[in-house]
Structure formats: structure tokens, C-alpha cells
Structure 1
């Protein structure tokens, strides 16, 4: 079995060993169909897909992409790729057209697995990106020129002799994730075997005792696809611990409570933009039994004190915690996960917890870049860790680190007298909408495409910006609109 302190394992070999060890445990509940998937059945499908990929000539360092909603086979291309040393790079069905085309052009995948409903869109994207994968595989019915995923699930003669890919270098890139940088379109973030295993494994072990009790069967509920580091981390962590996941196509507040009751969910991640719906939903579903829910986590965007208070009031029997992480370090950076510290979350609802011990960190002045000391002193948070990314895929990443080797997070932060961390602002010139990074320049480009718009400027809607915003409105309506011939 894999030890989290052991750096010899590849991601694929660790996943294979644990899936085999937990073969009789439930791996996935597919809520849409009531399908129950064991680790043994999931492992068989992953091995067959891996062997089929090898037959097609796919191997070490080849990019294998997928784009689909969550279902019983959505994780199979990801896991199968790690079994043969290929590099998974997963798209999200909700990713914008501009970002998808840009990332296709960057990644040049040799194989792509696509859901039937996204196939037509991807045909357009691939044409715009001038990318033609060697193989396009469709989940569901496929057209003549494409392969069906069902073909990959056919039994293989030598399944039991299948050999897992190994690497002597655990810091070799295992997965490429995506994230927006400080400027430009999303970038490919190269994450290595060691970082993914260490983050996914050690953090799950550090969670509150009640989650890891032998008397509790852990069942995890979350909604992101494998485009997001939260989903990748949960997938890897669940395999390493032999935990079950509930797979949902999309979020529905009423269904959330029914799922918790039906599958006895013990832990769920609810992004901030779903908090209001969940809180209101709880008031409307008071009779639903959610006593199994031990931990309710949130994060990935700003969470207000009122939101945290509402969550804690709606879920008095659960640990409600707010965390902070980044794809560039393969997951979580800070969280209040020690049982004795959980009361701090109630006292300090806007904190994102304490920085995990395996990070060295500093907060630097935005102008001088010199470290600031003492509580409540704001600056950019920077991290040094052996879990950081290998760099950006086919891009220069030197600017991502400072002269001392600390990763620039791009987030303005401070700590209080208890070393609790707070994220105050972003240095990056971008908005965050429902977890997506949105650059002002991209919004401006879309607005400018309208024939009635001559000029456009996108700014944040903040109290500090209101005066400027009204000034922009005034100029727009009195100067720019007058120069445009309005339709009758």
C-alpha cells in the first residue's frame, strides 16, 4: 500500500494498488441512474481503457483530454491515462468558447473523450484551434468517424497481466490542470506525482477525527468536474482511503438534501455561490435526515461572515469550515481541520484557516516586496513548498516565483494574532464568477463585438469604484452614445 511519506510511487501505481485493495468497497454512486459502482468494477474499466489506449499507440507524456459531466465513467480516462504514463488534461463543459479554443491549441491532445451533447461544440472548437486529435471518443452514441467509449470497455485477453507505468522521478509531471494567470488566457499547470499524492493523501488524514473513524463509512458529495483541482484532489483522496463518492450531473438545492439522506453523505463541498440556495433549501427541507453530514466545507471564493453564520445555523450538527487553496500547489493551503481549532471558525467566520505545516510562507509589501511582520499587516501571500507546480505547460513560469523561490499567489492576505489567515483582495486583474476566472479584457472583447458599442471598459463593482463607475456611465451616455447612430 502507498505511504504518504513514500516518494517512490507514481500516481497511477498508487491508484491501481488502492483500487485493487478496496475492490469490494463502493467507489461511486451515480445518482441519476441509482447505479452502484465498486472499486473492483471501476478498476476493470480503467485497465481496459488503458490497454485500448496503448493499442492505439498512446503512452508516456501523451496528452489525453476529456470533456463531460460527472457520471460513472467520467473519471475513467483520467485514471487510465495515469496507468500508462499519459498525462490527463480535462476540460469542463461550462468552460467558455474562447478559453476552450485557447487551451485546445495549447495542449494539442492526442486523444479526447467527449460527451455526446458537447461533441458538436468541440467540432467547432477544434476547427477554430486547428487541432485534430488522433482519436475522438464519444460517451454515448457516436457518428461514423468517431469511436464509441463502449468499444474501450470490451474485455482484454491479458487484463490480469497488465503492467502499470512506473517512474523513477516522482517530481515528473503527472497531470495538467488549468488556471488563469495574472494576465492572458488560462494556462496549463503541470502537477507532479508526488504533489498530487501528498496533497490528496495527507490532507484527508489530517481532517477531523470523526470523518476518519472506522465506525463511519465515508461518503463524499461534490459537484465540480475533473477540470477543477478540488475534484481531482477528492478523487485521488477517495481512492487512497477507499471512500465512496456520489456523482451528480448538476447542483440542485432540494436534491442536495435528498442525496445526503439517501446515501448517508458524511462530507460535502459547497462553493460560495451555492450557499444561499443550500441555506434556503434547508429551511424548506427540515424533515430530511442529514445527521450523517459531519463536514460541510466551502471555499474557492470570498465567503462573507453572514454566509458562514447562515451555514452554521442551518447545519448545527456539522463542522462548517472555510478553506483556501490553489491549483499551483495541487490543492489546499489553509484550513481549520484540527478538532480543537474548529471553534475558531465560529469566532472568526471569514478566516480561511491556518496555513498547513508543510508550507513555508511570507506576506510581502506590495510595493517594496519586503516581508511584513505582525498581525493584520496586509501584503501578497507567497509560499515555498515541495508540492508546487513544475511550471506552466509550454510557457515560461519564471515570473510565478520570486528570487527566493516562493510562489507568488497573487492574493492579498493577512494573519491575525492566532495565525488565522484571511484573503483580503486579489492582485490579479480579474473577476471571479461562480469559481471561474474572468479577465476584464475578455469581457471587454465580448462587449466590443456588439455593433452598437464603440468603446468598452470593464471595472469591478466595489464601493470604492462607485464614483469612477458613475463617471464612466456619464461619459458613455453623453459622449460615446452620441457618436453612434442609433437604430430607429
Structure 2
């Protein structure tokens, strides 16, 4: 059969599919040969070797298996970034159980919603997150046990340390027990799974347009993501600060570890400490969301950040003016690279790579990822479009999720089994992709489709504006018009009319801020840095009722 015209195909890299198709086995095989440090906590300076990460995962898996955990179970992790996270993730998957990763910053209602989707019988918690959620957890009928990271044992909980100890200590009275030094890939086995169909991880969509949905990611989805060519240089130090309960943070780190690279991480972002950590560990590559770059470009510090060569950005569009500011901030920068992805494609569908940094285009999000097919279709007719024609981006390949928990797959996949992303974008003649906006977020003014991200990009060019978000509000004759929510820089006192005039000077008539300007202290965003337009729309409705 011939490939279809106007479909964009990634290179095939899945030439050797590992057996068994258990993702945990794949990771253990990848990291076991490496010596040295794999993870460094930039805040506490704790270090974890590849070998200890693997041994902790295997010991934990044995302990969980003895507790009856296996295929069919869902086990949760709710924690900020910390040393125990990846051993826990891999250890759970070794048993054949499904992991669900939960944002520790969830409110009671959000926690009830996402845990109600996956119904875990056991949840691993960091101490701080547990103290925040304990009252809610006590009301969940399906939750049987809580396992705590750290060394503070609280009522009715189990310590992770007691389960990740050498198995000879945990089961000292049993025959054939081995010590941690003796445990290895040769004497350890993982549960059999159907890698192409069994769910390894349940993650949650960002919830920018509604309540989060449970995204079912299979073992094969995860392996295919790791098998794609490296986007970062594993020989150089990289720093990741995106939360690990988010696919960008989790799989970004796993890919580096599987290539033998060392990762510095921070449990929480602070712009000043972020820059200090770059200096301390001579970080060469940083992987961040755009709000982080905006923050570090607008603070004044004297740290030596000259080691930075690659800045990789994802999770939200990176504006041209931000890219220019980043290049000024990091004096020896080689390239600002971008990727486009989502939880539903287990990381990214398009990406730039460090090996082709010079081919990266300003404002672009790279070329189609390996093993992926992309088509861009007209939002009305569903006709497949060619280069430089914006439409809805649709994805297909082994990295695309199994589906949403409790939702008919046909609701989100078309008749060719392409996932309908709801994102508007296009590719140019060089097959480099560009993202315009979310389909559901486009403002329709008198038949014109206005992208909020374009107006936000202009607002952020003003030196007096620190952050901005735009949504559509009803209008009697226009249908919808843009309303801007603006966070001012300290020391500036801009008026609504000044901001309107600034945008009107730079953008065409349909994109003018006819819906007004609302000054706020912060723009609501997800943990990955995406603007929560649903919250902004609710704020806009509340204002209109005053």
C-alpha cells in the first residue's frame, strides 16, 4: 500500500521490540548497566545511583507482591518530586499493577474526582501531601493502605523504607531470601502483561477545558516513547523541574535515565534558586514550561549560568519574544528547542532534537516524532490539508493512549483511528509544525477565528505586563470578543485603555480587546504551565454579573 499524500510520517525506530512487554522490565534493563549518579535533588543535594534506583524498585516490587498486589490492581503515587518516586513507579509496574499519578496540589473536590476515576487500593504519599489530604483519604471506601515516603510513620500508614529494604530484611525468616547486594536482573522477574493493551499508568488530562479525564497509557505506549531518538544529550547534565505526576516531567526524566544521563531536579520551582542550581551543578540542558522561562528572564540575578547550551520548552506555546529574552539570559545558548505533545500521546508528537538544533525554527515545535503519523484536517469538512494550511492536528502511532477511563474510544478517535487532539496547527514546506491554538479556545468574532495565544503573545511584549491570559466573552453583535486578564509588573500602573491601545497597534481589528481588561494578581495555570481558560471564563462570567 502507498503512503497517503499530506500525511506526515515519522521515522520507524521500533525495529527491536523487547520481550516481555512490561515497561518496568524495559527500564530495568536500560539502567542496570550504568554506573554513577542518576538523580540529584538540587535542593537537598541527595543523590541516587542507577543501581540503587533499580534495586529499590525490585525490592519494593517483591514487598508489594507479598502484600497481594498484582495485575488488576491500581496503586497511586501522590508526591512532589523526590528520590523515591521512580523506584516506586517502576516497582509497582513490575508487579503487573497499574500506577496512577496524582497532583499533590489537588483540592478535596479534585482529589475525589481523579481518585474516583482510578479507585486505587493503595496510595504512596509524601508526608506533606498526606497531611493535606488525610481527611479526604479517610472517606474513600476503596482505599486500603497508605504508604509514606520519608521516615515519619503516622497512624495507619506503612513506611516506604520498610518495603524498599533488602528483601532479606523484610522477609528474614523465608527460605531463599537474598540481600540487596545480591538482587539483580538475573534473579528477579516481572509480571507477565499484554503490553499493547494492558494499562501501565493512568494519568490525568490537564483539565483546561473541563474536569480531568483518566488517560490510559499502555506498556507499549511507554516503551515506544523511550525508544524514540534522544532529544537531549545524555552525556551532559540536565535539569528537570516539571512535576513527575505530569507526563512531561515523568517521561522526560525516564528517557534521560534510560540513556544513562544524570538529572538534577527540584521539588518546587523558585526562580532565584533555579538559577543558583544551574551554577552549582553546571547544568547544560534545562527542560521547562514557558512560564518558567518568563520568570527567569524577568528576575535580576548574578549567578553564572554560562554552562547552559540547550533550553527545551514544552507543555504550552513559547512566544517569539520569550525566545529572544531567553537567548539574552543565557549568553552561551546554542538553541531553544520545542516539542508539542500531551498526556494522550505519552509525551510528544513533534519535537526538535539537540542533534539538529540548528534546524529548529523560531516559533516551531519541531518535526514529527519517530513512529508517529500526523494529519491536519479542516475543522468543518475533515478534509486532509497540505502544508501551510491550519487545521485540527490528528495523531496516530504506538505512543498514542489506549483511551480514556470509562469513555468510548470512538468519541475521540476518527474512522482511521487517528486521535483528534483539538489543537489547531499546521506544518510548513520543511514539515516543521506550528501550533495556533486549542480548537475549543478559539474566539469566533463575526466569523473570524481569533487565537487567544496570539493576543497573549502581544500583551507579554509590553514591559509593564508580567503575565496575561485571554478568553472570549459574549457580545451582542460580534458573537464573541477577547477579554484580557493581566498581571502587571511591579512599579507599573497601566490603565485599561493603554493596554487596549497597545494591542490595537499590533494586531488586526478582530483581535482587539473589545471585552475589556481585568487586572489580577496571577493567571490560573496547571502544574505544567498551561493557562486554565475554563477558570478565566468563570472569572469573566462573575465580572459580567457585578
The question of whether the paired residues in 2 share the 8 Å contact of 1:91 and 1:226 is answered with: no
CA distance in structure 1 between the aligned counterparts of 2:209 and 2:305, rounded to whole angstroms = 46
Query: If the length of structure 2 is used for normalisation, what is the TM-score?
Result: 0.73
Q: CA deviation at 1:356?
A: 2.4
The question of whether the paired residues in 2 share the 8 Å contact of 1:12 and 1:165 is answered with: no
The question of whether the paired residues in 2 share the 8 Å contact of 1:363 and 1:414 is answered with: yes
Of the three residues 111, 115, 121, the one matched with 1:110 is: 121
Query: Counterparts of 1:10-21 in structure 2 under 5 Å?
Result: 10-21=22-33
Does residue 380 of structure 1 match 2:427?
A: no
**Relative to structure 1, is the Cα distance of residues 337 and 307 closer, same or farther in structure 2, using a 3 angstrom cutoff?**
same
Counterpart residue number, 1:361: 374
Counterpart residue number, 1:241: 259
**Relative to structure 1, is the Cα distance of residues 276 and 137 closer, same or farther in structure 2, using a 3 angstrom cutoff?**
same
**Relative to structure 1, is the Cα distance of residues 279 and 181 closer, same or farther in structure 2, using a 3 angstrom cutoff?**
closer
The question of whether the paired residues in 2 share the 8 Å contact of 1:16 and 1:83 is answered with: no
CA distance in structure 2 between the aligned counterparts of 1:268 and 1:220, rounded to whole angstroms = 6
* Structure number having the greater helix percentage: 1
Give SS of 1:254's match: helix
The question of whether the paired residues in 2 share the 8 Å contact of 1:329 and 1:388 is answered with: yes
CA distance in structure 2 between the aligned counterparts of 1:284 and 1:461, rounded to whole angstroms = 30
Query: Counterparts of 1:156-235 in structure 2 under 5 Å?
Result: 156-157=167-168, 158-159=177-178, 160=183, 161-180=187-206, 184-204=210-230, 207=231, 211-212=233-234, 217-235=235-253
Does residue 350 of structure 1 match 2:378?
A: no
Does residue 426 of structure 1 match 2:420?
A: no
Of the three residues 272, 288, 307, the one matched with 1:270 is: 288
Of the three residues 314, 325, 332, the one matched with 1:299 is: 314
CA distance in structure 2 between the aligned counterparts of 1:405 and 1:13, rounded to whole angstroms = 29
CA distance in structure 2 between the aligned counterparts of 1:77 and 1:475, rounded to whole angstroms = 43
**Relative to structure 1, is the Cα distance of residues 289 and 326 closer, same or farther in structure 2, using a 3 angstrom cutoff?**
closer
Query: Counterparts of 1:1-12 in structure 2 under 5 Å?
Result: 5-7=15-17, 8=19, 9-12=21-24
Q: CA deviation at 1:389?
A: 0.7
CA distance in structure 1 between the aligned counterparts of 2:104 and 2:122, rounded to whole angstroms = 17
The question of whether the paired residues in 1 share the 8 Å contact of 2:364 and 2:432 is answered with: yes
Counterpart residue number, 1:284: 301
Query: Counterparts of 1:35-46 in structure 2 under 5 Å?
Result: 35-46=46-57
The question of whether the paired residues in 1 share the 8 Å contact of 2:484 and 2:515 is answered with: no
- Structure 2's unaligned 5+ residue stretches are 1-12, 169-176, 443-451, 457-468, 472-479, 486-502, 504-510, 519-536
Of the three residues 417, 420, 443, the one matched with 1:408 is: 420
The question of whether the paired residues in 1 share the 8 Å contact of 2:484 and 2:517 is answered with: no
Counterpart residue number, 1:461: 484
Counterpart residue number, 2:130: 119
Q: CA deviation at 1:56?
A: 1.2
Q: CA deviation at 1:468?
A: 4.2
Per mean C-alpha deviation after superposition, the further-off stretch among 186-195 and 91-100 is 91-100
Q: CA deviation at 1:460?
A: 5.7
The question of whether the paired residues in 2 share the 8 Å contact of 1:69 and 1:249 is answered with: yes
Q: CA deviation at 1:409?
A: 0.7
CA distance in structure 1 between the aligned counterparts of 2:430 and 2:266, rounded to whole angstroms = 38
Query: If the length of structure 1 is used for normalisation, what is the TM-score?
Result: 0.81
Give SS of 1:296's match: strand
Q: CA deviation at 1:133?
A: 1.4
CA distance in structure 1 between the aligned counterparts of 2:306 and 2:254, rounded to whole angstroms = 26
Query: Counterparts of 1:57-136 in structure 2 under 5 Å?
Result: 57-126=68-137, 130-136=140-146
**Relative to structure 1, is the Cα distance of residues 242 and 357 closer, same or farther in structure 2, using a 3 angstrom cutoff?**
closer
The question of whether the paired residues in 2 share the 8 Å contact of 1:309 and 1:349 is answered with: no
Per mean C-alpha deviation after superposition, the further-off stretch among 3-12 and 298-307 is 3-12
**Relative to structure 1, is the Cα distance of residues 256 and 182 closer, same or farther in structure 2, using a 3 angstrom cutoff?**
closer
Counterpart residue number, 1:452: none
Q: CA deviation at 1:65?
A: 0.6
Q: Could you report, residue by residue, the CA deviation over 1:31-90 in whole angstroms, capped at 9, with x for unpaired residues?
A: 232222111222222122111111211111311111111121122221111111111111
Q: CA deviation at 1:193?
A: 1.6
CA distance in structure 1 between the aligned counterparts of 2:99 and 2:206, rounded to whole angstroms = 18
**Relative to structure 1, is the Cα distance of residues 476 and 52 closer, same or farther in structure 2, using a 3 angstrom cutoff?**
closer
Does residue 155 of structure 1 match 2:171?
A: no
Per mean C-alpha deviation after superposition, the further-off stretch among 401-410 and 419-428 is 419-428
- Number of residue pairs matched? 440
